[in-house]
Amino acid sequence: MGIQFEREKCIQCNPTGESFCSKYCPGDLIYLDSEEKPQMRDNSKCWDCMVCVKACPVEAIYTVLPYSISSSKAKLIPFKQENKIIWKLEKENEIKEEFEIITAKDEQKSD
Ligand code: SF4
Ligand code: SF4
């Protein structure tokens, strides 16, 4: 898989501190370039944990699925809501499937 940034969507979040994608990557793989937009230090070291994808407040980061999973270019984009994340599978510029994941916060409420 692979992480991609949509530079035009990035709002350079958290201007008083480290941006969320850079702050939460466990491998310290993301940095902001001279335009304050995210870049990967080394794609080969990314293990697709998707922490950066979920941390971005404006869905400016997505995961590209490999050809072994999808025969044509497909991406997974999270849309965060208060108690859940809706993952959308986009293929050929169309949303093909949606997966709803209840967040831990909501699971705790039902205990
Ligand atoms: S997917 Fe995980 S390891 Fe890869 S850049 Fe994002 S946070 Fe870092
Ligand atoms: S988390 Fe999103 S908005 Fe913030 S710097 Fe990274 S890509 Fe831009």
Average the pLDDT over 4-26 and give the result: 91
Distance, CA of 73 to CA of 22 (rounded, Å): 26
Average the pLDDT over 75-82 and give the result: 87
**Distance from residue 110's CA to the centre of ligand 2 (Å):** 32
**Confidence band of 105 (pLDDT split at 50, 70, 90):** low
Count of domains in the chain? 1
- Domain membership of residue 25 as a residue range: 2-110
The ligand whose atoms approach the alpha carbon of 42 most closely is 1
**pTM over cut 0.85:** no
Please state, in angstroms and as integers, the Cα–Cα distance from residue 42 to each residue in 28, 93, 99, following that order: 10, 27, 29
Mean pLDDT of the chain: 86
- Is 3 within 8 Å of 46 (Cβ atoms)? yes
Model pLDDT for residues 43-65, shown as the tens digit of each residue: 899 998 999 999 999 999 998 88
**Distance from residue 90's CA to the centre of ligand 2 (Å):** 20
State how beta strands 94-102 and 30-32 pair.
unpaired
Distance, CA of 40 to CA of 58 (rounded, Å): 18
- Is 73 within 8 Å of 62 (Cβ atoms)? no
